[in-house]
Amino acid sequence: MAAISYIIRYILIVMSNRKRNSTTWVAKPLLDRFKSKYRIDVSGCWIWTGTILKSGYGRLKNLDGKQMPAHRISYEIHHGPIPSGKLVMHSCDQRACVCPTHLQLGSHADNMADMKRKLRGPMGDRNTNAKLDADKVREIRGLFGKVSIDEIAGAYHVTPAAVCMAICRYTWRHVE
């Protein structure tokens, strides 16, 4: 049903003819352009083969000529309009995937919770502001109970709270 609304919208929008190398051209319908720009991989993801940004997300011009994330266009084609304030999240965690069954709506908070649950955020060594690394965290955990928290914090130039959070695995929980 949503694909039909896009097709009707395309028909209703008057595409302006433009001159390019002395020949007149009209943009291909969005659905045709979308279908020609992905391949299906072994995991079932529809991997975008069109323009991909440094962030890993695909891009495609919508019916209004505006560049949009390819996964958002896929969601709208297959499921309908995206409500205001909602994000399109990937259940497969593949940024280039445009498979409609791998896409779901959620809030920013839902997306951040999903990232945290899957250990995908800028944590540990991937956090450019981190003062510790995995080896130091292991050392800190080994010192716990033998040396005071304040002494550990002073030795590693972090706050006592940072030491406690690393020991209790509130932070650096991926480090054994």
The CATH fold assigned to 2-117 is Homing Intron 3 (I-Ppo) Encoded Endonuclease; Chain A (3.90.75)
**Measured between alpha carbons, how far is residue 38 from residues 69, 71, 89, 132 in Å?**
13, 11, 18, 41
Residue 56's pLDDT is what? 92
**Measured between alpha carbons, how far is residue 119 from residues 100, 122, 173 in Å?**
24, 9, 9
Residue 130's pLDDT is what? 84
Q: Please give the model's pTM, rounded to 2 decimal places.
A: 0.62
User: Would you say 159 and 133 are in contact if contact means Cβ atoms under 8 Å apart?
Assistant: no
Split the chain (176 residues) into runs of 10 and give each run's mean pLDDT: 53 42 56 92 95 93 88 93 94 94 95 85 75 92 93 94 91 85
The domain locations on the chain are: 2-117, 128-167
Q: Whole-angstrom Cα distance, residue 64 to residue 62?
A: 5
